[in-house]
């Protein structure tokens, strides 16, 4: 849930985003470069679907020569889903590409799309929902990799409650964080079993979802990650029933994606390509050894809670790999179908070129490179 908190402010912040989308003033000598000098036009999004294995990359030595400083903004504080980035940094994959990467945790995660669009950050992690909302408002961000291939957001209830399916929520209190798309997601799940939001009482508990659930302030919650908050509850002695959204009528969607700006893709495609290539190496290592990946994360960020992240990454790692076994790949149908669902639920209100919201070309080009371990 804490990773989803940024979406709440996005619904307000995007209205002001266009004023922030000016050109970057940074360079390779500054701590937060935009690297926006013009080059030839970038690659297009249309690429054939590849098939690869998950062979881990070998440890690389940093390459000599000047390094280009690059910044990537996380969606929240560091957790297991970020481990591939830290591996790419620790094992020299970024350095091999001539990149000095700053992995930063923003003070306000709701600003990630704005800082990327404006060039303050070169890359960022956000949500498929957020990207579509941003583009509707004219914020020029593009998803270049699908990091988590399926939803993590879910509905949870204590096992002792007997609530195991959405239909069991009728007449119950459901805690939610006040994020608008959570309301639509829950309604879809309920309608899948002949119920609707009219059959439940929504209680805005903010981001204290697990506390509200185990304290029995509510009967169930929506907005919590089943690979994180559910483990936190279990560690406190509470077993949960988890209802995954895609099992109850919600179109499958990418929970988290890696984004950059249209300007970066057009002006510095080589920079984007090098970054994607290193990130893919890092996550291939993480897929091959999930707990080893968390160990690297822990070394870089000692505050990481291994009692949550170790069991969590066991659940998360399979979601890093797409149906065709390619890390980062995005399916056009999933973008189109989810955008259609958002329009049906009035989360999107304008005509939108959904195909322009994502770009597979950098992943595809990495797969075709003969010197890459894929």
Q: Note whether 162 and 310 are same-domain residues.
A: no
Confidence of residue 257 (pLDDT cuts 50, 70, 90): very high
Q: Note whether 87 and 177 are same-domain residues.
A: no
Q: Note whether 139 and 270 are same-domain residues.
A: yes
Name which of 238, 240, 86, 77 is nearest 157 in CA terms. 240
What is the pLDDT, as a whole number, of residue 23? 35
Q: Report whether pLDDT(124) > 50.
A: yes
Assess if residue 157 is contained within a domain: yes
Q: Note whether 161 and 309 are same-domain residues.
A: no
What is the pLDDT, as a whole number, of residue 371? 52
- C-alpha 91/C-alpha 281 separation (Å) is 10
Burial 147-159 (b: 16+ CB within 10 A, else e): bbbbbbbbbbbbe
Assess if residue 325 is contained within a domain: yes
The model's pTM: 0.83
Helices (H), the chain: 6-13, 83-90, 93-96, 112-118, 128-136, 180-191, 209-214, 229-235, 262-267, 269-288, 290-300, 306-316, 332-344, 361-368
Q: Report whether pLDDT(346) > 90.
A: yes
Residue 226: give the domain boundaries: 153-247
- C-alpha 271/C-alpha 94 separation (Å) is 11
User: For residue 125, what is the enclosing H or E element?
Assistant: strand 123-126
What is the pLDDT, as a whole number, of residue 56? 41
Confidence of residue 109 (pLDDT cuts 50, 70, 90): confident
Sign of the CA dihedral 234, 164, 219, 341?
positive
Residues recorded for the chain:
374
Between helix 6-13 and helix 128-136 the angle, nearest 10°, is 10
Burial 132-145 (b: 16+ CB within 10 A, else e): bbbbbeebbbbbbb
Average pLDDT in the chain: 86
**Interval 230-235 mean pLDDT:** 95
What is the pLDDT, as a whole number, of residue 64? 55
Assess if residue 373 is contained within a domain: no
Q: Note whether 208 and 133 are same-domain residues.
A: no
Cβ atoms of residues 117 and 261 within 8 Å: yes
Radius of gyration in angstroms for the set of CA atoms belonging to the chain, rounded to a whole number? 20
pLDDT, tens digit, 9 for 90 and up, residues 27-74: 322 222 222 222 223 333 444 444 333 334 444 444 457 899 999 999
What is the pLDDT, as a whole number, of residue 38? 24
What is the pLDDT, as a whole number, of residue 280? 98
pLDDT, tens digit, 9 for 90 and up, residues 168-205: 999 999 999 988 899 999 999 999 999 999 999 999 99
What is the pLDDT, as a whole number, of residue 150? 97
- C-alpha 225/C-alpha 1 separation (Å) is 5
Measured in whole angstroms, the distance separating CA 300 from the mean position of its chain's CA atoms is 20
Name which of 254, 262, 258 is nearest 129 in CA terms. 254
Mapped onto helix, strand or coil, the DSSP state of residue 141 is strand
Q: Note whether 144 and 257 are same-domain residues.
A: yes
What is the pLDDT, as a whole number, of residue 100? 98
**Domain end among 225, 247, 269:** 247
**Domain end among 228, 247, 266:** 247
Burial 192-220 (b: 16+ CB within 10 A, else e): beebebeebebeebebebbbbbbeeebbb
* 8-state DSSP, 138: T
Q: Which two tokens stand for residue 292?
A: 């080893």
What is the pLDDT, as a whole number, of residue 48? 43
Q: Note whether 222 and 314 are same-domain residues.
A: no
Q: Which two tokens stand for residue 204?
A: 């805005």
Beta strands 141-148 and 256-261: pairing type? antiparallel
Confidence of residue 351 (pLDDT cuts 50, 70, 90): confident
- C-alpha 147/C-alpha 329 separation (Å) is 8
CATH code (residue 179): 3.40.190.10
């Amino acid at each position: 849930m804490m990773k989803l908190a940024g979406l709440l402010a996005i619904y307000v912040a995007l209205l002001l985003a266009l004023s922030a989308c000016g050109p970057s003033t940074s360079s390779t000598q500054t701590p937060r470069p935009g690297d926006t000098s013009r080059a030839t036009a970038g690659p297009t999004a249309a690429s054939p679907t590849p098939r690869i294995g998950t062979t881990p990359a070998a440890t690389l030595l940093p390459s000599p020569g000047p390094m280009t400083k690059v910044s990537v903004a996380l969606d929240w504080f560091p957790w297991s889903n970020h481990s591939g980035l830290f591996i790419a940094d620790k094992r020299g994959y970024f350095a091999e590409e001539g990149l000095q990467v700053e992995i930063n945790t923003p003070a306000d995660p709701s600003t990630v799309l704005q800082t990327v669009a404006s060039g303050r950050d070169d890359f960022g992690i956000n949500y498929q929902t957020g990207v579509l909302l941003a583009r509707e408002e004219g914020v020029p961000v593009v998803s270049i990799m699908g990091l988590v291939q399926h939803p993590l957001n879910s509905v949870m209830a204590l096992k002792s409650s007997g609530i195991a399916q959405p239909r069991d929520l009728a007449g119950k209190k459901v805690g939610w964080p006040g994020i608008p798309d959570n309301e639509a997601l829950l309604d879809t799940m309920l309608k899948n079993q002949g119920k609707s939001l009219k059959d439940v009482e929504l209680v805005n508990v903010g981001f204290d979802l697990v506390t509200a659930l185990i304290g029995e302030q509510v009967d169930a919650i929506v907005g919590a990650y089943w690979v994180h908050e559910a483990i936190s509850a279990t560690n406190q002695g509470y077993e949960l029933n988890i209802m995954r959204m895609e099992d109850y009528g919600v179109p499958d969607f990418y929970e988290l994606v890696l984004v950059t700006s249209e300007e970066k893709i057009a002006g510095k495609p080589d920079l984007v390509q090098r970054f994607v290539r290193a990130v893919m190496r890092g996550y291939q290592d993480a897929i091959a050894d999930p707990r080893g990946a968390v160990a690297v994360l822990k070394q870089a960020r000692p505050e990481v809670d291994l009692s949550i992240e170790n069991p969590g990454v066991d659940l998360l790692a399979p979601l890093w790999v797409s149906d065709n076994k390619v890390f980062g790949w995005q399916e056009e149908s999933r973008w189109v179908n989810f955008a259609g669902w958002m329009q049906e639920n009035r989360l999107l209100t304008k005509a939108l070129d959904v195909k322009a919201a994502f770009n597979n070309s950098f992943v595809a080009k990495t797969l075709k490179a003969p010197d890459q371990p894929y």
